[in-house]
Amino acid sequence: MDPRRDPRGALVRPYAVTRGRTEPLQDIALEAVLVASPTQIAESRFAGHDKHRIAMVCEGRPESLAEIAAYTRLPLGVARVLVADMVADGLLTLQTAAPATGFEERMEMLGRVLSGLREL
């Protein structure tokens, strides 16, 4: 069977990208704003393909965690782990994080994020 068409590859790769981790080093909200400077982008080249792609998405314009996952076509859980690693390693700058809000406010925010993603 052609390995590019093997459906098991799609299941294994996200697990391999995060080295089996499913929880990020720090909790980053879906709507948190991240940005990469030219220096961070240059350094990300040595951190692996997926991390460099994430840094390139954040080049010159702030992006939310949800947008990063959509643009890179990474599962949200994988993007969350990689982005948290990159913030911890200084490869991305977390500009703002949404303040803690109640359940209704969070659901409204998630609805707006989903609507924005659908427009892509």
**What one-character-per-residue DSSP string does 8-70 give?**
HHHHHHHHHHTTT--S-SS---TT-EEEB-HHHHHHHTTS-HHHHHHHHHTBTS-EEHHHHHH
Q: Is the pLDDT of residue 64 over 50?
A: yes
pLDDT at 88: 92
Q: Is the pLDDT of residue 47 over 80?
A: yes
Q: Which has more confidence, 109 or 34?
A: 34
Q: Is the pLDDT of residue 76 over 80?
A: yes
Distance CA 17, CA 57 (A): 18
What number is the average pLDDT over the span 24-39? 85
Q: How many CB atoms lie within 10 A of CB 29?
A: 20
pTM above 0.75, yes or no: no
Report residue 31 CA to chain centroid gap: 11
- CA 115, distance to chain mean position in Å, is 18
Q: The tokens of 42 are what?
A: 């240059």
